[in-house]
Amino acid sequence: MHEEIAVAGFGGQGVLFVGRLLAEASLLEGREVVWMPSYGAEKRGGTVWCNVTISDEKIGDLFITRPTAAIAMNPASLVKLEPAMKSGGLLVVNQSLVPSKVSREDIRVVYVPANDLATELGDDSVGNLVTLGALVTGCPVVSTSSIIAVMDNLLPKNQRRLEINKRALSKGCAWTQGN
Amino acid sequence: MSKKTLMAGNIAIAEGAILAGCQAYFGYPITPQNEILEHMSKRMPEEGRVFVQTESELAAINMVYGAAAAGCRAMTSTSSPGFSLEQEGISYMSGAELPGVIVNVMRGGPGLGNIGGAQGDYFQSAKGGGHGDYRVINLAPASVQEMMDLTMLAFELADKYRNPVVVLADGFLGQAMEPVVMREPVTELPSKPWAITGALGRAKNIINSFEMDPVNFPPRVKLLLRKFKKMRRNEVRYEGLNLGDASLVIVAYGSASRSALTAMKMARQEGIPVGLLRPITLFPFPYEALSNLAQRINDFLVAELSSGQFIEDVKLAVGLDKRVALVNQYGGVPLLAEEILEAIEKMIKQPVGG
Amino acid sequence: MTKFSISELDTVLYHRPESLEDYPFHFCPGCGHGIVFRLIAEIVDELNIKERAVCVACVGCSVNSYHYFNFDGLESAHGRAPAVATAIKRCHPHLVPFTYQGDGDLAAIGTAEIVHACARGENITTIFVNNAVYGMTGGQMAPTTLVGMYSTSTPGGRKPSLSGYPIRVCEMLSTLDGTAYVARVSVHNPAAVRKTKQAIKLAFRTQLANLGMSLVEVLSPCPVNWRLEPVKALEWLVKHMLPQYPLGEFKVIEAVAALKKGDRLCTKK
């Protein structure tokens, strides 16, 4: 397999963390992986993206240009991601913040009201995990059990945080399954 | 299979230094390598080793000079503008025959440039950079694993030759995370009877690079030149991929070689037999390997993140009768595999002499 | 090293300190550097730290320092001696590194390094020789050149409108919390030389007691670049430099004062 995944949104939306979970889970599954963040002058609320390349072979380019799967957490990232998507790829759109619809017909799209679903769980900051659940259900680049194992490892000290992240992940999975 | 850890390139450099027995780290904040400084600020005291955040890169390199003179494995890390400031100290270190490791996580330039990854310090780094007749081994990692491994090697080579060694990485590699196999820590460090440790039970030691009388200086330089010759003979490192059947060879180092790897695969899928030669040492440069390749290959494509610096050494190696084309980005922008592929296609379509 | 035979003399009153090499000073006639070197060597002997002392030489007239001393020493790039000494002390806390710097080295090109070594409270010692000119390069204006004073780069005398004002290093550095002992002394006559020795010794003892940064500024004549005969140069120093650079202690933290007090008690016994 060879997947190139892009995650983009506002700073503070947990974009880099979603990428990190994808990368760690791929490593756990014994694959080659590159996690590459955008980086700029330190500024809260600016646009942030990261890409994760997952492959069975040694990975070349650190950057991706044609994502096979992607998450657009805010309107600006949808504008960038839609034209870049590889034909047949999966694009997860955070409907809570992105009002517009995707016009391309050669890609699969999952609209998920990530922040609203997160608020229902009692913490609107876990919208990122909702979108991750929606992504890996529509395009199984890693298994949810691997993501859960990574979270158990990364967040052992904050049980409350860990639990709500897990619930957000499964809420996202269920959303894609139900649509 | 050894256990792998997902790690950012900058962290791999810091951990590599600790594994190599780095006893003292000195640094000044500059993007895109701040993670090294921050990581060291926590890890060095944990290990009971020296950490100082300095007032400038000038102070940092001169503290490396002092720690190295005191017989310790010492390192600083910086990015391009800071590396310019450190040239004075690197020249002094080479002149005074002091080992030490300087990490340059390159960014866009000239001037303040920007914080994107770049390779615009090639001339400065691979050719010396400071004043006077000296050379510095340059190790160019192309993966996070190599960020660790080559940092460890840098300490070993610095001590072997009593000369500074540069790890020349770029901002993209510094920020990227990849799986890394942790290496075994170095437990035995070489003895340094020449070091400044106090004249207890021995005659005094002096460390300098100065001779009042000019006639006394050339012999010193000759000693250095002998060392640089040895480096050229023993320390050339490179990686060759798919060279056997190649009709065109991409030459690239660092993160540009990663894009080149993808471009090579894409070209081969199109049926174009492309190979890749990746220098790991920029000084000493793999002139011989390239010149041997040039005996049967006519087309070389140089991929670099600078405006045609690295290509000069490639041309020198393969000779003027070969076609050497350039595909590049500069100023902090990545070079993508697709751009390299386009350049490959363009090159093979153009008839020789056309 | 030549030593007097005891049989020839009843008591040896004056000899070359163990810590000073039998190596000719290359200073000009009437220069003050030689005095300061000898004082440091005497002090290193008296404190019995020859095996731990490290001279960090600077660039300028004292560039050859490590040849004069009979203990470990090294060169540093222009102005960077405090950074080099910092690293040596941090790596080997048992060593006693000191920097020997001129005014151009410390107060111009190396201002950042000395300020931050002081700010960090590095446990090192700096001997700062102020002769108000760049000596080695031929007498150009230094950061300590007096207003109106001739130098080869201030042809009509230093004009503040063009070249600014001289820096008072001790006054400036004593404001930093990391300094433990800061004093200005001079070598213009034997009494002043004795006081210089006391100050430098206290500076080294400050380091030996781990009390923080110690710095002694020594006013010193440079007859050749001042265009004066040696004796006239001493007179000039008294008349012109002392008013601009008053002698005295600018910073003595309590723990250093206690060291001094302990001395006096010992002497009284």
- Cα B264 to Cα B275: distance, rounded to the nearest angstrom: 7
In chain A, which residues have their Cβ closer than 8 Å to the Cβ of B264? 60
Domain ranges, residue C66:
28-268
Q: Does B93 touch chain C (CB under 8 A)?
A: no
CA distances from B309 to B252, B314, B316 (A): 12, 10, 12
Residue B2 pLDDT > 90, yes or no? Answer: no
In chain A, which residues have their Cβ closer than 8 Å to the Cβ of B262? 60-61
The H or E element spanning position A132 is helix A127-138
**Residue B111 confidence (pLDDT):** 95
Measured in whole angstroms, how far is the alpha carbon of residue B282 from the centre of its chain? Answer: 7
- State the smallest CA–CA distance between residue B77 and chain A in angstroms: 19
Q: CATH 3.40.50.970 in chain B, residues?
A: 4-234
Nearest to C74 among B55, B63, B69 (CB): B69
Cβ burial, residue B76 (10 Å; 0-12/13-18/19+): buried
- Do chains C and A have 3 or more beta-carbon pairs under 8 angstroms? no
CA distances from B264 to B68, B164, B309, B330, C75 (A): 42, 34, 22, 21, 50
Residue C7 lies in a domain: no
The structure tokens listed for B204 are 């005094």
**Residue B213 confidence (pLDDT):** 87
- Cα A121 to Cα C177: distance, rounded to the nearest angstrom: 53
For β-strands C53-57 and C96-102, DSSP reports them as: parallel
Q: Which of A21, A26, A33, A61 to mutate to test the interface with B (most CBs of B within 10 A)?
A: A61
The structure tokens listed for B282 are 């920029």
Confidence of residue B351 (pLDDT cuts 50, 70, 90): confident
Chain C residue with minimum CA distance to B75: C87
**CB neighbourhood size of A44 (10 A):** 7
In chain B, which residues have their Cβ closer than 8 Å to the Cβ of C50? 199
- The model's pLDDT over B172-231, given as tens digits with 9 standing for 90+, comes to 999 999 999 999 999 999 999 999 999 999 999 999 999 888 899 999 999 999 999 999
Contact A60 B259 (CB under 8 A): yes
**Residue C11 confidence (pLDDT):** 77
Q: Which CATH architecture has domain B238-349?
A: 3-Layer(aba) Sandwich (3.40)
Residue C105 lies in a domain: yes
Contact A63 B261 (CB under 8 A): no
**Residue C235 confidence (pLDDT):** 98
Contact B66 C83 (CB under 8 A): yes
Confidence of residue C268 (pLDDT cuts 50, 70, 90): very low
- The model's pLDDT over B284-293, given as tens digits with 9 standing for 90+, comes to 999 999 999 9
Q: State the average pLDDT for chain B.
A: 96
Q: Does B52 touch chain C (CB under 8 A)?
A: yes
Q: Give the SS3 label for residue A71.
A: strand
Q: Is the peptide bond before B284 cis (omega within 30 degrees of 0)?
A: yes
Residue C269 pLDDT > 50, yes or no? Answer: no
Least confident of B97-101, C26-30, C71-75: C26-30
**Residue C173 confidence (pLDDT):** 98
The structure tokens listed for C20 are 């000073």
Confidence of residue C49 (pLDDT cuts 50, 70, 90): very high
Contact C74 B54 (CB under 8 A): no
Contact C76 B67 (CB under 8 A): no
Q: Does A40 touch chain B (CB under 8 A)?
A: yes
Q: Does B94 touch chain C (CB under 8 A)?
A: no
Mean pLDDT of A105-132: 96
Contacts across the B-C interface (CB distance below 8 Å): 131
In chain B, which residues have their Cβ closer than 8 Å to the Cβ of C76? 62, 65-66, 92
Chain C residue with minimum CA distance to B91: C77
In chain B, which residues have their Cβ closer than 8 Å to the Cβ of A32? 179
Nearest to B172 among A27, A35, A62 (CB): A62
Number of separate domains in chain C: 1
- The model's pLDDT over B15-69, given as tens digits with 9 standing for 90+, comes to 999 999 999 999 999 999 999 999 999 999 999 999 999 999 999 999 999 999 9
- The model's pLDDT over C165-192, given as tens digits with 9 standing for 90+, comes to 999 999 999 999 999 999 999 999 999 9
Residue C1 lies in a domain: no
In chain C, which residues have their Cβ closer than 8 Å to the Cβ of B52? 86-87, 90, 120
Encoded amino acid at C70, one letter = N
Q: Does B54 touch chain A (CB under 8 A)?
A: no
Measured in whole angstroms, how far is the alpha carbon of residue A160 from the centre of its chain? Answer: 21
Residue C19 lies in a domain: no
**Residue A39 confidence (pLDDT):** 67
In chain B, which residues have their Cβ closer than 8 Å to the Cβ of A20? 6, 177
Contact B66 C56 (CB under 8 A): yes
- State the smallest CA–CA distance between residue B311 and chain A in angstroms: 20
Chain C residue with minimum CA distance to B88: C77
- The model's pLDDT over C225-262, given as tens digits with 9 standing for 90+, comes to 999 999 999 999 999 999 999 999 999 999 999 998 87
Strand ranges inside chain B, DSSP E? 4-8, 24-27, 50-53, 74-78, 100-108, 114-117, 137-139, 164-170, 177-181, 206-207, 238-241, 248-251, 274-279, 281-283, 299-304, 323-328
- The model's pLDDT over B140-175, given as tens digits with 9 standing for 90+, comes to 999 999 999 999 999 999 999 999 999 999 999 999
At which residue do the structure tokens 């009201």 appear? A113
- Do chains B and C have 3 or more beta-carbon pairs under 8 angstroms? yes
Spell out the domains of chain A, with CATH numbers in brackets: 2-113+135-157 (3.40.920.10)
- State the smallest CA–CA distance between residue B189 and chain A in angstroms: 34
- State the smallest CA–CA distance between residue A68 and chain B in angstroms: 16
Contacts across the A-B interface (CB distance below 8 Å): 63
The structure tokens listed for B59 are 């102070």
Provide the ipTM: 0.95
Mean pLDDT of C52-57: 98
**Residue B353 confidence (pLDDT):** 60
In chain B, which residues have their Cβ closer than 8 Å to the Cβ of C54? 196, 198
Q: Which CATH architecture has domain B4-234?
A: 3-Layer(aba) Sandwich (3.40)
Share of chain C above pLDDT 70, in %: 94
- The model's pLDDT over A49-106, given as tens digits with 9 standing for 90+, comes to 999 999 999 999 999 999 999 999 999 999 999 999 999 999 999 999 999 999 999 9
- The model's pLDDT over A150-174, given as tens digits with 9 standing for 90+, comes to 999 998 888 999 999 999 999 999 9
Q: CATH 3.40.50.920 in chain B, residues?
A: 238-349
- Cα B337 to Cα B268: distance, rounded to the nearest angstrom: 13
Contact B6 A27 (CB under 8 A): yes
Chain A residue with minimum CA distance to B144: A34
Residue C4 pLDDT > 60, yes or no? Answer: no
- The model's pLDDT over B85-144, given as tens digits with 9 standing for 90+, comes to 999 999 999 999 999 999 999 999 999 999 999 999 999 999 989 999 999 999 999 999
- Cα C85 to Cα B63: distance, rounded to the nearest angstrom: 8
CATH number where C198 lies? 3.40.50.970
CA distances from A27 to A128, B216, B259 (A): 20, 59, 21
Q: Does B260 touch chain A (CB under 8 A)?
A: yes
Quick one: angle between helices A127-138 and A144-154, nearest 10?
A: 150
